[in-house]
């Protein structure tokens, strides 16, 4: 199909958009666009947009799934796909109309700017993204082709590693303390605090901490912990764990800022194209597409919609607060633009919503809380005066990495038997037991010995033991 | 700021197929999963007598990607549409609804159905039943009776049967002869084809009396037919049907379910209807005889009958059953009785096999099926009888 536009058209629109991007003060990486057909687009989606990625059957699975949905018209293709890299790479689908391409280009700059400036992405080493993924791919292929290793064994490790890949530290902006440093901390902590009335108090007895305990503090990076503490693992197995861990860490910031990021890109594509002087035909199509992307999905949550509403509200409140808001927050100290840029830099979804999702917005967005009953969602709370705060809390709990249970390694020598003991930081949400069982099986496989997970089931403390080859659940009294 | 646009390059199609390897591997995993569930699938799906291209939907449980996720008591937040949302309201929503699902998806999204062609399913089933390769080949390469046979050449015929080589050759012959006879060619040396040059394959249609077959599947539908028994019975019927399809042009299939009385049913009912109460095997046989006399007269049809039962019959009925069975052997090419007693089911009750040993007709065969490994050997024994008769005929 001949595209009704040329690369020159795209270049021309791009120049205009870039001018506006600069005028608005956005600060993106250099941008590269690649024109793809739908097959390539599907393929890129499967591999998170990466030009190079290691092989695993799960990508074949998601390709089949996406392709089926696409072929049956159940889902379209995304208009945009942007990689957090420097230079940033984005894909434009060949068969889209010019208006859609222009919209996408503007949207891409929003993401690009967000990647470059939001604090959570500081650890992702965007300069080396493409090279890193390529290096990972090469190493995995090398192991697959190595006759002493082969596909089956590589797959076994990858399957297990994928199951645990998101069990890792979430706030990457905080430097991780080494184990030696953690021991020092522990020692420091154990010392009795300074007491102003030392002379009259009896001196507290100093209990020396157990410095031999591994890990000194609960450890969330499960894959790394296994890599470093299971002496049975071969070098190639350790390397696979490292690769999977590194890739997960790369994607954590995107999980953590989904709503902000999509909202930000939508906010700016609207701004940019409103000022770009689109010809009337394109303007109409732009409005239609924009509304499609930004419309709420009744029953679930459209991050584009929610995100953009919050951004718009921040801008409004800092530009033109109503009297009530002025009374509540005091006189504004910042311009709206500066405020937006500050928020872009220092928040992630959970803090973003906590600070800027107001009662009015919860109402306006028609948010509600639901409980899962089998395949149904049953509305449990609607946004009235009593419940809006609870809904907001639930939302904050379930965005970003909030959907991943916090599970940390507590002891690598449980029962003096080198069993791995983990604790689930239970926050009112139980684990799905079938999934927990299978995941513990993977954990057992990687650790090589028994694993025990402490969690609450229906409010009662239980230990999930995965021994030789099956799970037993024991209540703890 | 410089922006680079990389235009679409059609030759990069190769790159777009980089998921090919991963897809293949996933396909293999799906196959393994199907193999794991084959008994359930075969027992649940209507597959006998369906054409090969039929797509069977198979729920796959084997290729889920597990991780730690929250269970049902984790609340979520959704957006309402235009209408007002009320507590207690059920928000219907597709499993995969909503964009931006990433990590920590609800586990439900990992359930999905995969589509398999019936041929593929048969393949897996053959693997599962561990049919030896050689025999499997035999079964598949069994020559299908041809309806058309080439026999010589004719000067008249339809275009598709034109034999170009012979036509060209006869033109050359005519040309040589003409030259010898002193005919002068056109001035541009052309010597066109004449319709007398044309040669066509002559095809004769072979009418074969044996091209119709009917399979009578007779089953005891007492309530005790569980999934494993259904799988065994269905596999037996299915193999029989498949096999006959390779030998006959037109294979019809009749399902007869019986307990104390018999009726003709659909495949679905055949395998899903559980009846309880006593069993009168003769009722099933008599029903089969009726149907044969009404619709499938043995002079026009090759009749194959196969009866699956767990062997529990009213004693009072045994005589009648024996008589009806003998009658069936008169009208059938082959009549088989398969007794399904899965291992561990215990040899409760009577067995009809002993009783049927009184039947001496060569085209009668009994088999006992205890587990799926028994199906193929017993099936071979069953069909060896058929060959004997064929040779004799």
Give the mutation candidate from A432, A460, A466 for the B interface (greatest B CB count, under 10 A).
A432
Which of A56, A379, A403 minimises the CB distance to B89?
Answer: A379
Quick one: pLDDT at residue B98? 34
Phi, psi (degrees; rounded to nearest 5) at A35: -90, 130
Quick one: pLDDT at residue B300? 75
- Chain A residues 49-68 within an 8 A CB cutoff of chain B: 55-61, 63-65
A17 within 8 A of A10, measured Cβ to Cβ: no
Q: What is the DSSP letter of B345?
A: S
Beta strands in B86-211 (DSSP E): 90-91, 112-117, 148-154, 200-205
**What pTM did the predictor assign?**
0.74
Q: DSSP for B167-190, please give it.
A: HHHHHHHHHHHHHHTTPPPPTT--
Angle between helices A303-319 and A258-275 (to 10 degrees): 70
Q: Which residues in chain B have their CB less than 8 angstroms from residue A304's CB?
A: 99
Closest chain B CA to residue A262: B100
Quick one: pLDDT at residue B126? 64
Which of A46, A166, A299 minimises the CB distance to B103?
Answer: A166
- Chain A residues 109-128 within an 8 A CB cutoff of chain B: none
What mean pLDDT is reported for chain A?
91
Q: Which residues in chain B have their CB less than 8 angstroms from residue A424's CB?
A: 68
| A299/B97 Cβ within 8 A | yes
| B4/A33 Cβ within 8 A | yes
Q: Enumerate the H helices of A365-456 as residue ranges.
A: 388-397, 433-447
Quick one: pLDDT at residue B95? 40
Q: How far apart are CA B21 and CA B24, in angstroms?
A: 5
| B13/A297 Cβ within 8 A | no
Overall average pLDDT of the A433-441 stretch: 94
| B7/A7 Cβ within 8 A | yes
Quick one: pLDDT at residue A69? 74
Q: Which residues in chain B have their CB less than 8 angstroms from residue A369's CB?
A: 75-77
Closest chain B CA to residue A402: B104
Closest CA to A103 of A312, A291, A297: A291
Q: Which residues in chain B have their CB less than 8 angstroms from residue A365's CB?
A: 79
- Chain A residues 66-105 within an 8 A CB cutoff of chain B: 69, 75, 87, 94
Which of B3, B22, B77 minimises the CB distance to A367?
Answer: B77
Number of H helices, E strands in chain A: 18, 10
| B78/A299 Cβ within 8 A | yes
B247 within 8 A of B222, measured Cβ to Cβ: no
A124: closest CA of chain B, how far (Å)? 18
For A12-48, the pLDDT digits (tens) are 999 999 999 999 999 999 999 999 888 888 888 899 9
Closest chain B CA to residue A391: B77
State whether residue A432 sits within 8 Å of chain B by CB: yes
| B8/A36 Cβ within 8 A | yes
| A63/B19 Cβ within 8 A | yes
- What percentage of chain A exceeds 70 in pLDDT? 97
> Which token pair is A285?
């199509």
Question: How do strand B250-258 and strand B212-220 relate by DSSP bridges?
Answer: parallel
Closest chain A CA to residue B8: A35
Question: Quick one: chain A helix, strand, coil %, rounded to 5?
Answer: 55, 15, 35
For B72-128, the pLDDT digits (tens) are 888 889 888 777 788 888 876 544 333 333 333 343 444 455 667 777 777 776 666
Closest chain B CA to residue A424: B68
| B23/A366 Cβ within 8 A | no
Q: Over 80: is that where the pLDDT of A452 sits?
A: yes
Question: How do strand B90-91 and strand A376-382 relate by DSSP bridges?
Answer: antiparallel
Closest chain A CA to residue B19: A60
Q: What is the DSSP letter of B46?
A: -
Alpha carbons within 13 angstroms on the beta-carbon side of residue B57 total: 3
Quick one: pLDDT at residue B42? 65
- Ranges of residues in chain B with a pLDDT under 50 are 94-111, 132-144, 387-393
Residue A2 binned pLDDT confidence (cut-offs 50, 70, 90): very low
Closest CA to A311 of A265, A368, A254, A359: A265
Rg (chain A; Cα; Å): 26
For A193-220, the pLDDT digits (tens) are 777 787 787 777 788 888 888 999 999 9
Overall average pLDDT of the A66-76 stretch: 72
Q: Over 50: is that where the pLDDT of A49 sits?
A: yes
Closest CA to A400 of A357, A352, A356: A352
Q: How far apart are CA A346 and CA A351, in angstroms?
A: 9
State whether residue A398 sits within 8 Å of chain B by CB: yes
| A302/B99 Cβ within 8 A | yes
Q: Which helix (H) or strand (E) holds A267?
A: helix A258-275
Quick one: pLDDT at residue A91? 92
Q: How far apart are CA A312 and CA A338, in angstroms?
A: 14
Beta strands in chain B (DSSP E): 4-6, 55-60, 76-79, 90-91, 112-117, 148-154, 200-205, 212-220, 250-258, 262-265, 302-309, 334-340, 364-369
| A371/B72 Cβ within 8 A | yes
Q: How far apart are CA A68 and CA B364, in angstroms?
A: 50
State whether residue A260 sits within 8 Å of chain B by CB: no
Residue A372: CB atoms within 10 A of its CB come to: 17
């Amino acid at each position: 199909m001949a595209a009704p536009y040329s690369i020159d058209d795209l270049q021309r629109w791009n120049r205009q958009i870039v001018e506006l991007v600069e005028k608005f003060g956005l600060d993106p990486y250099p941008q590269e666009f690649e024109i793809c057909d739908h097959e390539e687009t599907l393929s890129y989606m499967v591999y998170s947009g990466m030009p190079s990625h290691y092989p695993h059957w799960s990508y074949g699975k998601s390709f089949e799934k996406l392709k089926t949905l696409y072929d049956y018209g159940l889902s379209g293709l995304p208009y945009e796909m942007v990689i957090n890299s420097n230079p940033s790479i984005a894909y434009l689908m060949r068969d889209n109309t010019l208006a859609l391409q222009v919209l996408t280009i503007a949207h891409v700059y929003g993401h690009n700017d967000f990647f470059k400036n939001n604090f959570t992405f500081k650890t992702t080493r965007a300069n080396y993204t493409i090279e890193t993924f390529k290096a990972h791919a090469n190493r995995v292929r090398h192991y697959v082709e190595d006759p002493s290793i082969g596909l089956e064994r590589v797959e076994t490790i990858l399957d297990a590693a994928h199951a645990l890949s998101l069990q890792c530290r979430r706030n990457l902006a905080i430097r991780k303390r080494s184990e030696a440093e953690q021991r020092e901390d522990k020692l420091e902590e154990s010392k009795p605090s300074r007491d102003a009335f030392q002379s009259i108090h009896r001196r507290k007895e100093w209990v020396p901490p157990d410095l031999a305990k591994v890990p000194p503090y609960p450890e969330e990076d499960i894959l790394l912990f296994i890599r470093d503490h299971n002496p049975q693992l071969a070098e190639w197995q350790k390397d696979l764990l490292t690769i999977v861990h590194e890739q997960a860490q790369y994607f954590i910031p995107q999980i953590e800022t989904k709503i902000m990021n999509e909202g930000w890109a939508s906010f700016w594509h609207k701004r940019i194209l409103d000022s770009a002087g689109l010809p009337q035909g394109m303007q109409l199509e732009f409005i239609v597409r924009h509304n499609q992307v930004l419309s709420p999905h009744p029953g679930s949550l459209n991050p584009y919609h929610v995100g953009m509403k919050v951004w718009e509200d921040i801008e409004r409140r800092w530009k033109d607060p109503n009297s009530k808001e002025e009374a509540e927050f005091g006189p504004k100290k910042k311009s709206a633009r500066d405020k937006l840029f500050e928020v872009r830099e220092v928040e992630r979804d959970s803090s973003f919503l906590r600070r800027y999702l107001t009662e009015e917005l919860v109402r306006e967005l028609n948010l509600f809380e639901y409980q899962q009953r089998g395949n149904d969602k049953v509305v449990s709370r609607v946004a009235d005066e009593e419940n809006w705060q609870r809904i907001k809390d639930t939302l904050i709990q379930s965005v970003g990495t909030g959907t991943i249970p916090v599970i940390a390694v507590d002891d690598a020598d449980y029962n003096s038997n080198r069993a791995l003991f983990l604790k689930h930081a239970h926050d009112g949400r139980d684990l799905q037991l079938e999934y927990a069982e299978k995941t513990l099986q993977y954990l057992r496989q990687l650790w090589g010995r028994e694993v025990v997970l402490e969690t609450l089931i229906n409010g009662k403390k239980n230990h999930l033991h995965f021994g030789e080859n099956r799970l037993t659940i024991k209540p703890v009294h | 700021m410089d922006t680079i646009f990389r235009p679409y390059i059609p030759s990069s199609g190769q790159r777009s197929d980089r998921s090919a390897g991963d897809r293949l591997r996933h396909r293999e995993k799906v196959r393994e999963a199907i193999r794991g569930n084959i008994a359930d699938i075969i027992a649940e799906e209507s597959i006998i007598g369906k054409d090969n291209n039929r797509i069977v939907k198979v729920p796959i449980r084997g290729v889920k990607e597990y991780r730690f996720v929250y269970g049902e008591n984790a609340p979520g937040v959704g957006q309402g549409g235009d209408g007002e949302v009320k507590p207690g309201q059920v928000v219907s929503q597709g499993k995969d609804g909503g964009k931006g699902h990433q990590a920590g998806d609800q586990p439900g999204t990992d359930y999905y159905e995969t589509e398999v062609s019936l041929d593929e399913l048969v393949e897996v089933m053959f693997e599962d039943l561990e049919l030896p390769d050689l025999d499997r080949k035999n079964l598949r390469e069994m020559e299908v009776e041809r309806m058309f046979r080439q026999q010589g050449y004719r000067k008249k015929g339809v275009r598709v049967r034109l034999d170009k080589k012979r036509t060209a050759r006869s033109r050359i012959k005519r040309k040589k002869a003409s030259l010898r006879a002193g005919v002068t060619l056109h001035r541009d040396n052309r010597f066109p084809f004449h319709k007398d040059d044309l040669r066509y394959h002559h095809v004769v249609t072979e009418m074969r009396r044996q091209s119709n077959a009917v399979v009578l599947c007779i089953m005891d539908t007492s309530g005790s037919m569980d999934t494993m028994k259904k799988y065994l019975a269905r596999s037996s019927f299915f193999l029989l049907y498949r096999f006959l399809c390779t030998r006959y042009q037109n294979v019809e299939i009749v399902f007869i379910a019986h307990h104390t009385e018999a009726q003709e049913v659909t495949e679905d009912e055949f395998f899903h209807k559980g009846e309880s109460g006593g069993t009168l095997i003769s009722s099933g046989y008599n029903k089969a005889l009726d149907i044969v006399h009404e619709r499938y007269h043995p002079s026009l049809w090759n009749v194959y009958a196969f009866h699956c039962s767990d062997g529990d019959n009213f004693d009072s009925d045994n005589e009648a059953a024996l008589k009806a069975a003998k009658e069936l052997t008169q009208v059938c090419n082959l009549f088989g009785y398969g007794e399904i007693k899965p291992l561990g089911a215990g040899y409760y009750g009577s067995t009809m096999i002993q009783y049927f040993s009184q039947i001496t007709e060569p085209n009668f065969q009994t088999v006992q099926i205890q587990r799926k490994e028994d199906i193929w050997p017993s099936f071979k024994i069953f069909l060896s009888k058929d060959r004997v008769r064929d040779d004799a005929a």
